[in-house]
Chain A
Amino acid sequence: MNFLLKRAITYLVVFFVVLNLTFILPRLVPGNAAELLASGTRVPASAAVAIAARFGLGQPIYVQYVSFLKNIFFTWPPWLGVSYGYFPATVTSLFMGRIGWSLGLILSSFLFGFLLIYFLGAKSLLKRKSKVETGSLYASIMFNSVPLFWVSMVLLFAFAIHFKIFPLFGSTGFSSSGGLSYVSSVIWHAVLPITVLSLSIMAEGFLILRGSAQDILRSNYILAAKTRGLSDWTISTGYLLRNSLLPLVSILSFSMASLISRVVLVEVVFGYPGVGDLLVDAVLGRDYPVIEGSFFYLTILVVIGGLIGDVALMRLDPRLRINR
């Protein structure tokens, strides 16, 4: 319980920091936000005045802060502003409409990445200095440090333009009508992004797994299992992996943040209509409410993912349940 409490406090601090950043940063920008609203965007002047009033822009800063907090905590859905580019859609509705696609990418690439880590680890970790092990080690290092968006661009070029196997952008095609063709279209469009993201997760996780497996490989019980004549596969899965998976899970809650960053970039390359695409579109269109709102919601997503990871960690590792 102590462990979960410490992690929960960390996440509360993160949430608090994000909340205040979302309030402070836009107001640090030189220039009145209402002027920004009225200048050269699609927002008509009358609506700009109304929005400014709801933001409380003419009033002293503490009043603005209170109305900011009220808009987030006491209204449902939380009101973070109205998008300039997609006026009059609110930021929250835009984000929530697209979160489904992003979550699909995140969850499926987590699944595939984890499977890859597991099987690659099981096959290669037992044989030190073999070609499989050093090969997967170097492949992981390379894939961990290479810029993910560039790899996506190259793959897109290769498979969508040159070989014309996978579709060019989006998550569904234009001609799919519902039912099976819709599902297959979704899957077909998602193959490239999920491949890239899974390989990236696999690379990061494999390095961590390798680090923790080195310690375990020297334990007596592994040696005993080998002398008993168990096959490599049994030793790998039953003894080695079971004990070395733990640091991996604990890293998972930290890697949620970097995963969200990677998903954002990959979505932009493939034109996948998720929240990353929304964020970058907003950046290019100077749609400040969407940028700030996305940052806010994405960090909350990271916090939720981290909490889930920590709860899973607590269930898996009994040592963490001791009250110290």
Chain B
Amino acid sequence: MSAKIGILIIACVLGFLFSAVLFGHHSPQAIVGPADAPPSLKYPFGTDYLGHDLLSQVAFGAFPTLFIGLVAALGGTSIGFLAGLYGGYYQRLQPVISGAIDVVLSFPSIVLLILIASLFLASNNLIAISLVLILWATVARGVRAQVASLKNLPYVDAARTSGMSEWRVVNRVIAPAVAPIAVSYFVLTVSIGIVIATSVEWIGLGNVTEVSWGSILYYAQTYAFIRGDWWWVVEPGLMLALVAIGFALIGFAIEEELNPRLRTYGDKFTSENI
């Protein structure tokens, strides 16, 4: 049920953004209208302090943000999956990888990103790569826990005693069993990734000349409060929040599917009826 809501939200948002990009009249960089205009029929999202049409800005700005989130999630999930898989299975690797996961998770992530982005020239690629370095640990921790619980199940033992080498056991037996968890982590890391990427851009690191949700909010933080342009603050953030919530709901639903403990059972099994 949460998956359906999540997919619905994302589909609506993406549909809306794509249609705004395809059918929009204005370029996001062009100054088209009066400054500080509230939402109206002509400018459905209003304009900002210079007169840019916010609808086009939000629509075009989605792509850099989503790009960073997807790339970071892909990289983070791949590395995290491999690290969790081999770290969870092989005894010799376990202290090393578990230690690495713990160390990475003990860093305040946004502060680390701020540090890196401020020292080196902040571009989308830099943010994406730094995000991968942070996100892999969350994925690896979950995958490792799952592998640890699967490692001693009878069917894995059977595979081992039937003569399969450890390498084959890990790759052919355990990996497919934990792959669904990795999928749910992928979706969750997309959600986390776009929020962190926008936070870094909102502070002012990252390319503020390129239109992205973070840079819109960066200018909004400086100018919107004084000018009373609430729509300037609400719109890009609302899009971001909706996309993040949508992905989080999908990821949570996948996780719930796979993990029977978390399911909310139907009426038959409530404690009242026992």
Residues of A that sit less than 8 Å from B by CB: 9-11, 13-14, 17-18, 21, 25-26, 28-29, 126-129, 133-134, 137-138, 141-142, 144-147, 149-151, 153-154, 156-157, 161-162, 168, 210-211, 214-215, 217, 222-223, 226, 254, 257-258, 260-262, 264-265, 268-269, 279-280, 283-284, 286, 288, 291-292, 294-295, 298-299, 302-303, 306
Contacts and interface: CB of A to CB of B under 8 A. Distances in A.
B111 A26 contact: no
Contacts of A265: 110, 199
Given A145-B248, A162-B230, A279-B114, 13 more contacts: A13-B103, A14-B103, A29-B120, A145-B247, A146-B244, A147-B199, A149-B217, A151-B237, A153-B217, A153-B220, A168-B225, A226-B274, A298-B108
Contact of B111 (A156, A168, A211, A279): A279
Given A257-B108, A258-B109, A129 B195 contact: no
A190 to B, nearest CB: 19
A157 B35 CA distance: 19
Nearest to A257: B108
Nearest to B237: A150
A260 B262 CA distance: 29
Given A257-B105, A258-B108, A294-B111, A145 B220 contact: no
A144 B252 CA distance: 12
A294 B271 CA distance: 50
Interface in B222-238: 224-225, 228, 230, 233-234, 237
Contacts of B105: 254, 257
A146 B245 contact: yes
Contacts of B265: 128-129
Contacts of B212: none
B233 A154 contact: yes
Contacts of B272: 127
A137 B116 CA distance: 35
Given A129-B266, A144-B248, A264 B221 contact: no
Contacts of A284: 203-204
B148 to A, nearest CB: 16
Contacts of B266: 129
Contacts of A154: 233-234, 237
A32 to B, nearest CB: 14
A324 to B, nearest CB: 14
A161 B112 contact: no
B261 interface: yes
B217 A150 contact: yes
B110 A291 contact: no
B241 interface: yes
A157 to B, nearest CB: 5
Contact of B248 (A141, A215, A257): A141
B23 interface: no
Interface in B243-274: 244-245, 247-249, 252, 261-262, 264-267, 269-272, 274
Contact of A147 (B112, B234, B241, B264): B241
Interface residues of B, number: 56
A137 to B, nearest CB: 8
25 contacts: A10-B99, A25-B115, A29-B119, A137-B264, A145-B241, A147-B237, A147-B241, A147-B244, A150-B217, A150-B241, A153-B221, A161-B225, A223-B271, A254-B105, A257-B106, A265-B110, A268-B203, A269-B221, A279-B111, A280-B204, A295-B111, A295-B114, A295-B115, A302-B106, A302-B108
Interface in B200-221: 202-205, 217, 220-221
Given A29-B120, A147-B237, A283 B203 contact: yes
A299 B115 CA distance: 12
A25 B199 contact: no
Q: Taking each of A141, A211, A303, A306, which has the highest tally of chain B beta carbons within 10 Å of its own beta carbon?
A: A141
Interface string B154-170: 00000000000000000
Given A146-B244, A214-B262, A156 B107 contact: no
Nearest to B236: A150
Nearest to B192: A145
Contacts of B112: 295
A25 B119 contact: yes
B56 interface: no
Nearest to B238: A150
B57 interface: no
Contact of B252 (A14, A141, A156): A141
Given A14-B103, A154-B237, A280 B203 contact: yes
Nearest to A232: B271
A261 B244 contact: no
A21 B103 CA distance: 13
Contacts of A133: 264
B2 interface: yes
Interface string B90-129: 0000000001001101111111101110111000000000
B198 interface: yes
Given A129-B267, A150-B217, A291-B118, A257 B107 contact: yes
A141 B271 contact: no
B274 A261 contact: no
